[in-house]
A = this chain, B = another copy of it.
Amino acid sequence: MSAATTPPHGRRWPVAVLGATGAVGQTFIRLLQGHPWFTVAEVAASSRSAGRSYRDATRWLEGPMPAEIAELPVRACTPDEVLSPIVFSALDSSAAGEVEPLFAAAGRLVLSNAKNYRMAPDVPLVVPDVNADHMGVLAAQRRARNWKGAIVTNANCAATVAAMALAPLHRAFGLRRLFMTTMQAVSGAGYPGVPSLDILGNVIPFIADEEPKIEAELPKILGGLDGHGGFAFAPFGVSAQANRVAVEHGHTACLSMEFATRPTVEQATAALEAWRGPEGVRGLPSAPERPVILADAPDRPQARRDVNAGRGMSVTVGRLREDPLLHLRMVALGHNTVVGAAGASILNAEWLAARGMLDA
């Protein structure tokens, strides 16, 4: 897997993490530890943290804090203070709307987890193992906005899990209608996030603003390019119901699907088993060997047992069976803070690096 370990053109890139002290920011730092192409050179956060060391400014949540990051000074989130050419944004949507364009205008490549620009007509919304080709609109984005840099977004965590599981079936049979009920982990709400009194022994059948995001993003992700620098949304409708459950990591989704061409369970199984994701993604450092893994056992996938499949970058699918009302049903599970957030951003950056698009 030489492609993965030798950086393209023999160079390493310094990268910055915006919003580095929060839960998603920490996931970026954990995933970038020992990355073969990227080095975390800068961390930035709100003015409240700026000026302190990362160690002092951060309540670190999982495992040991990487020693090489602990002493980095926390910078303010401006292109004057943060100089890295690649910028991973874990900013809240309240800050991202203003901050991310400043970096793009200053020539940086911004890989954003925030929702602000996901649905913009010239911004790619990329789940790399599904639609890395949407990067093709970046030239139009730069022209339209007069940016030297660019903004690439990744999707809502639950939409990502569903998109990964649906991609092979949509490609083969044409998704037309989707009912989707999610059971989402508490880490999706960040830290401190969900109070324990709300979730111990409980299900909360509501996550603010989550269902509209899922319903809007899926047709964009699973759609194509319109040939004129824009997007052609996939022609299916989505009804999503989102729930919070007492799980640490891993969003589970129950899916009921109708297709343009009704597949048998065997045909759908074959499509899922054959799927390896887009050509240019395979072999990248963060790409999983298999984007979609089919669970054997009848009671899988399970959040605690399958969340780390493919180092958190694979989605596990199980219980594929006929639906009494539509065509097929299945259950999908993926790691909401890895493939559903920071991991997707990093893989997007790798895809761009491998194509030489970081050297522009």
- List residues of chain A with CB under 8 Å of any chain B CB: 23, 61-63, 177, 179, 181, 183, 186-187, 191-206, 215, 237-239, 241, 243, 245-248, 252, 254, 256, 298-305, 308, 318-319, 323-326, 329, 331, 333
Contact = CB atoms under 8 A, between A and B. Distances in A.
Q: Which of A194, A202, A324 has the most CB of B within 10 A?
A: A202
Interface centre among A61, A201, A237, A333 (most CB of B within 10 A): A201
Given A196-B186, A239-B323, A325-B239, A298 B206 contact: yes
B205 A248 contact: no
Q: How many subunits of this chain does the assembly comprise? A: 4
A205 B324 contact: no
A277 to B, nearest CB: 20
Contacts of A199: 196, 200
Contacts of A183: 183, 203, 243, 245
Given A195-B192, A196-B194, A196-B246, A204 B302 contact: yes
A206 B299 contact: yes
A239 B252 contact: no
B202 A302 contact: yes
B205 A318 contact: yes
Contacts of A197: 23, 61, 186-187, 191-194, 248
B304 A202 contact: yes
Given A62-B305, A239-B326, A245-B245, A252 B201 contact: no
